Amino acid sequence: MSRQNELIQHIPRLRRYARALTGDVARADDLVQDTLERALVKLDLWRPGSDLRAWLFTMMHNLFINQIRAGDQAHCELDEAADLPVSGGQADALAVRDIHAALAKLSSEQREVILLVGLEQFSYAEAARVLGLPIGTVMSRLSRARERLRGHLDGQAVLKLQVVK
């Protein structure tokens, strides 16, 4: 299988992750396109036998962070999911809407970890490599993200910790 075909196989996962990161279909598509363009240009740098998926997700994560730093996506909203019409009897659609709303309330750092581990099925070590973090940081962010997500979904007020100097 050619390298380009291997890239194509990962597009649905890249789109899903980008949409969850940005909360916007158009920005997600732009992020995927930027990621794929960069991947094609740097494809010779990818080592066959290594995890192409992790390489692509790392590239996407770095592009996303660069866009935030540049001010292109200073505020990521997933609230559009709350405005989706739902016909009676569609409990699954309501649950998905609630999950989107709860994810929107997480910090971007917590949302990235929970999406990589929970949605994309990355191991802690893989997520740590993608995000450029120590595995312990991934584990603690995931734990806090799950706790906050649970609190939001249960309708409980989530305590915000403040840094004390």
Multiple choice CATH, 1-76, 1.10.10.410, 2.60.40.10, 3.30.360.10, 1.10.1740.10: 1.10.1740.10
User: 């997700």: which residue's tokens?
Assistant: 57
- Would you say the CATH fold of 79-165 matches that of 1-76? no
Parse the chain into domains and list their residue ranges.
1-76, 79-165
- Which pLDDT tens digit goes with each residue over 24-36? 889 999 999 999 9
User: What are phi and psi for residue 86, nearest 5 degrees?
Assistant: -130, 125
- What is the widest separation between alpha-carbon atoms in the chain? 55
Q: Are 3 and 50 in contact (CB under 8 A)?
A: no
Q: Which fold has domain 79-165?
A: Arc Repressor Mutant, subunit A (1.10.10)
Q: What is the pTM of this model?
A: 0.61
Is the pLDDT at 91 greater than 80? The verdict is no
Please give the pLDDT value at position 3.
72
- Which pLDDT tens digit goes with each residue over 67-82? 877 875 444 444 444 4
